[in-house]
Amino acid sequence: MGMDLIFAIRGLLSFVAFTEFTSTIRCFWPLGDDSYIQEQLFSGIKLASEAERTLSHTYGLFSGLVGLVIIHTAIFAHYRPLVTLALSAELLKISFLVLEAFVFGSIRAGQHLVFPVVTGIVTIISSIGLLVLTSDGLLSDHENPDLVKRARKLRKTR
């Protein structure tokens, strides 16, 4: 059951990484007159065009980096430092969004805030789940007996 749950978490993290990459593309490629940043995210304030472009590119880079961390976590789920990095990146992103929405007022609390916060919370829960599932106590060395036998033989021959 542990491995099935890990594969499910990997799929979920891959989806979240895809949404991060989609946000990155939307930030760098404005469609229409209004950019993604002004219309979808930072709609609580009016930005000058130069500030809007800079903020859009900065948020796009941040989303891209978070997406890269999450996709690497999905691929290398047993590497605990990557999992904690994904956890930290999502905590930082959610902190940013919540502060901008409820303290600074630059993001309106509404439908455009819900999706990134929900995917962030899902990623945090998934990362914590990976940390628990990949701890030494929950996964035994007998998940793949052939590999364990080969490793033991290799150790004995050295």
Where does the pLDDT of residue 141 fall: very low under 50, low under 70, confident under 90, or very high at 90 and above?
Answer: very low
Rounded CA-CA distance 131/119 in Å is 18
Convert the pLDDT of each residue in 17-34 to its tens digit: 999 999 999 998 866 666
Q: Is the Cβ–Cβ distance between 66 and 93 less than 8 Å?
A: yes
Residue 121 has pLDDT above 90, yes or no: yes
Q: How high is the pLDDT of residue 139? A: 46
Fill in the amino acid letter for 34.
D
Q: Is the Cβ–Cβ distance between 16 and 122 less than 8 Å?
A: yes
pTM: 0.79
- N- to C-terminal Cα separation, the chain: 34
Q: How high is the pLDDT of residue 144? A: 62
Domain map (residue ranges) of the chain: 2-157
3-class DSSP state for residue 76? coil
What average pLDDT does the segment 37-43 reach?
84
What average pLDDT does the segment 109-133 reach?
93
